[in-house]
Amino acid sequence: MFTTLLKMAWRNIWRQRRRTLLTAAAISLALILSILARSLQEGSYAHNIDNGARFSSGLVQIQHPKFGDSGSIDDLVPGSEEFIAPLREDERINHIVPRIESFALAAGAERSRGARVMGVRPELEDAYARVGQKLSAGEYLLADDNAVLLGVGLARYLNVGIGDEVVLYGQGYRGQTAAGLYPIKGLLSFPMPGIDDRLVYMPLAAAEQLFSTDGQVTNWVVHTHTLSLLPELLTQVGATYPQYRVRDWEDMLPEMAQQISMDRAGGYFMMVLLYGVVGFGLFATLLMMTLERQREFGVMLATGLLRSRLMILIAFESLFIATLGFVMGLLVVLPVLLWLQAYPIRMTGEMAQMVVEMGFEPVIPALLEAFVFAEQVQTTLFILVLCLIYPLYRVYALTVVVALQGKGHVG
């Protein structure tokens, strides 16, 4: 019986070919615009999150349980290869970077200032955060160097330059004194104000010696090549290191997470407006399809068709029109998204210049993930169901005698 209803529904939608195509076109247009908007929006978020994570905290960090709150050099994790080896074979991970992050007093010949000291493996940090591209003078670090890179703002304040020496003085592991004299090998320039006013980079081995960490680090940075894999990766890393604290970028960069959430809410609001317009049009079409065919429905009911099967027939017709709209929309939007993924939209102006100076490509890529498509298809189906409620109620309450007389319906 359902096969017969499907055949009837398919034939019925082509009795009014123009109306069917216009309704399907409206659905496809809504699908195209919503998928394009969401893909570019989520693509820009993923791009910004990836850049922001590389620039600062990383996507995931493995820390001592107390380090996130204390920031103390006493709260460390092992820096050995044996410690991090369980993650080396995970194909979702493309960067694993050890760091020592602490604070010290940086002093020149006449002035001093508190500075953030980053102990890194130079080759890994350059591959991950592209620190070498931010050199404004001098040379980049080597792993066995006993030298430092200073932010240009800090160097300007201390009145030092390439070849000069800077004293770092602070507290080391377990209360030991951290003090050292280091030549300045290079200067780093960052586009965002304030960052290079208090920044010192040094090789990890030199930082271990300065802070007496004995092969320990403050954190391991773990990065995945696909942001959508982050939740399951976070779960896996947490299960691998249950005695340590595993934090993601949202926990470490709450301002960025909040900003993205607010912007995403604005995007959802625009989607609501778009689907509201389409929903009213779809509702009007479905209601018209029901009202103008009441005599036909009366005949079908009078000849023995069950009312429930008549309602199923109308639902099938609506589903066919929606499916036609989905197919038309996906056939149009998919090639566009593939093109935008291969040739992303390029930023211009001051924003592009700032992104370039940070060492990243100034583009807005399209995100081609299944959830982008699934969200919009599910939303459209939900709207279709809502629009069907009243037309189906009209059929349910249809009075056969009145419908056969062509006088509308009573109910």
Q: Let me know whether 181 and 75 are in one domain.
A: yes
The mean-pLDDT minimum among 136-150, 175-189, 287-301, 356-370 falls in: 356-370
The mean-pLDDT minimum among 48-57, 63-72, 301-310 falls in: 48-57
Per-residue pLDDT at 307 exceeds 70? yes
Last residue of a domain, one of 252, 282, 310: 252
Q: Let me know whether 47 and 65 are in one domain.
A: no
Confidence label for 409 from pLDDT (cuts 50, 70 and 90):
very low
Look at residue 360 in the predicted model and tell me its pLDDT: 64
Average the pLDDT over 116-127 and give the result. 95
Average the pLDDT over 406-411 and give the result. 52
pTM of the full structure: 0.79
Q: Let me know whether 232 and 310 are in one domain.
A: no
Look at residue 79 in the predicted model and tell me its pLDDT: 94
| pLDDT one-digit tens code per residue, 231-277 | 999 999 999 999 999 999 999 988 888 988 998 888 888 888 888 88
**Helix (H), strand (E), coil (C) string for 24-91:** HHHHHHHHHHHHHHHHHHHHHHHHHHHHHHHHCCCCEEEECCCHHHHCCCCCCEECCHHHHHHHCCCC
285: left (phi over 0), alpha (psi -120 to 50) or beta: alpha
Confidence label for 411 from pLDDT (cuts 50, 70 and 90):
very low
The mean-pLDDT minimum among 22-36, 218-232, 348-362 falls in: 348-362
Domain contains 411:
no
Confidence label for 305 from pLDDT (cuts 50, 70 and 90):
confident
Q: Let me know whether 34 and 178 are in one domain.
A: no
Domain contains 327:
yes
Q: Which amino acid is at 106?
A: A
Domain contains 123:
yes
Q: Let me know whether 127 and 209 are in one domain.
A: yes
Q: Let me know whether 93 and 227 are in one domain.
A: yes
Burial class of residue 22 in the structure, from the number of CB atoms within 10 Å of its CB (0-12 exposed, 13-18 middle, 19+ buried): middle
Q: Let me know whether 322 and 180 are in one domain.
A: no
Look at residue 115 in the predicted model and tell me its pLDDT: 94
Q: Let me know whether 158 and 281 are in one domain.
A: no
Last residue of a domain, one of 220, 252, 284: 252
Average pLDDT value for the chain: 89
DSSP state of 244: S
47 vs 246: which has the higher pLDDT: 246
Per-residue pLDDT at 288 exceeds 90? no
Per-residue pLDDT at 38 exceeds 50? yes
| pLDDT one-digit tens code per residue, 344-399 | 888 777 777 766 666 566 788 888 888 889 999 999 889 989 999 999 998 888 88
Q: Let me know whether 201 and 305 are in one domain.
A: no
Strand partners, 74: none
Look at residue 400 in the predicted model and tell me its pLDDT: 86
Q: Is 269 helix (H, G, I), strand (E, B) or coil?
A: helix
Domain that holds residue 25: 2-52+257-404
Per-residue pLDDT at 410 exceeds 50? no
Count of domains for the chain: 2
Last residue of a domain, one of 198, 217, 252: 252
| pLDDT one-digit tens code per residue, 74-119 | 999 999 999 999 999 899 999 999 999 999 999 998 899 999 999 9
Domain contains 409:
no
Q: Let me know whether 294 and 324 are in one domain.
A: yes
Q: Let me know whether 30 and 133 are in one domain.
A: no
Domain contains 410:
no
Per-residue pLDDT at 1 exceeds 70? no
> What is the spatial distance between Cα 411 and Cα 398, in angstroms, rounded to a whole number?
7
Counting every residue written for the chain, the total comes to 411
Q: What is the chain's percent helix, strand, coil content, to nearest 5?
A: 60, 20, 25
Domain contains 27:
yes
Average the pLDDT over 205-231 and give the result. 93
Look at residue 277 in the predicted model and tell me its pLDDT: 86
Q: Let me know whether 224 and 317 are in one domain.
A: no
